[in-house]
Chain A
Amino acid sequence: MKDRKLRQLLSMLPEEEEIARRAARARRRALARLEEPEPARRGWRWAPAAALTVLLVASAAWVSRAWRVDPLVWTPPAPRIASVPAAPLAPAPAPAVRKASRRAAPGPRQERLEMHLVLSDGTRVLWTFDRKFTL
């Protein structure tokens, strides 16, 4: 009942003559416009966006090339491990036997530290540090 009444209301349209008049006028105008040259294609609307995209891609390519680090022209020689002296190190002197103290014995005082380095090209380097590890 409700649906029938609703459908009856919905099926109402303007007067037949008005529909015919407006529909015919719409057709005549459409046909008249058909004779006119078609306006610019819709694709042109996207031209600025396309141009911007191309510009962005070109800029990205340029930036990536400008920021690239070129490979080294000079190749450094491979590192070489210096030969170790075959002679065994002298054994450390046996510590003097002392009566064990209840307090921990202080370690030997080291006045300086020497570091011998032999670089791959044969250069010898000697670094000497004092007690405060100052070179």
Chain B
Amino acid sequence: MTTTVAIEGGPLAEPVESRWDELVGAARAGDRAALDGLLEAIERRVYTFAYRLAGDRAAAEDVAQDALLKICRRLDQYRGGNFLGWVYRIVVNQARDARRAAARWVGEPIEIAVLPGHDPARTEQLRRLEEAWRVLSQKERAALTLTDLEGLSSAEAARILGCLAVTARVRAAQARKKLRRELSRYYPELRETT
């Protein structure tokens, strides 16, 4: 017997924690539709998080693919509680492994083409941001993304990163400082006044 668990609002909607557990339970039981639904629900989040960690789009796709595969294979190891935290931890580990393996992450910056219909100014901003993002270490990227962009507390981020809360805070602060320094070339208002 298969249980189909539909996510209301389409793939971009975020189920609440009990809904995650329900989906995971069904996927573990071998329900392929539930597994598809689960992956659809997290794929964008996984990709954007991988993008922040990797700093480039193609590498982020590889990381997201490997992380999603690992999530499928390790669903049995999920003990409940905080599904997204568990997913983030897998993405962080995957990004770290991929960075060790691939030299291209520290190679030449990838040129971003301005596609027809896209705003060239926005594309340029994104290019500057990706360039500045390369200055950060993997740990700083992860801490900054989790605390400032994903809205997690430093304690939650620390649990995902496997460090102390104060370490996560310090890494995020260092990342902010480095980014301000890098981006102030283009945006003088970011320049440190002290």
User: Which A residues lie within 8 Å of B189 (CB)?
Assistant: 1-2, 5
Total number of A residues with any Cβ neighbor in B under 8 Å: 28
List of B residues within 8 angstroms of A113 by Cβ: none
A6 touches B180 (CB 8 A): yes
Q: How far is the CA of A130 from the CA of B65 in the complex (A)?
A: 99
Query: Which residues on A sit within 8 Å (CB–CB) of B65?
Result: 25-27, 29-30, 33
Q: A23-B43, A38-B73 are in contact. Are A9 and B61 (CB under 8 A)?
A: no
Instruction: Pick the contact of B69: A2, A20, A22, A34 (CB < 8 A).
Output: A34
- Contact digits for A1-29, partner B, Cβ 8 Å, 1 yes 0 no: 11101110111111100111011111101
Binding site for B on A (CB under 8 A): 1-3, 5-7, 9-15, 18-20, 22-27, 29-31, 33-34, 38
Residues of B that sit less than 8 Å from A by CB: 35-36, 39-40, 43-44, 46-48, 51, 57, 60-62, 64-66, 68-69, 72-73, 115, 118, 122, 125-126, 129, 144, 148-149, 176, 179-180, 183, 187, 189-190
List 10 A-B pairs, minimum CB-CB distance, nearest first.
Answer: A30-B68, A23-B47, A26-B64, A26-B65, A30-B69, A23-B43, A27-B43, A22-B61, A29-B65, A27-B39
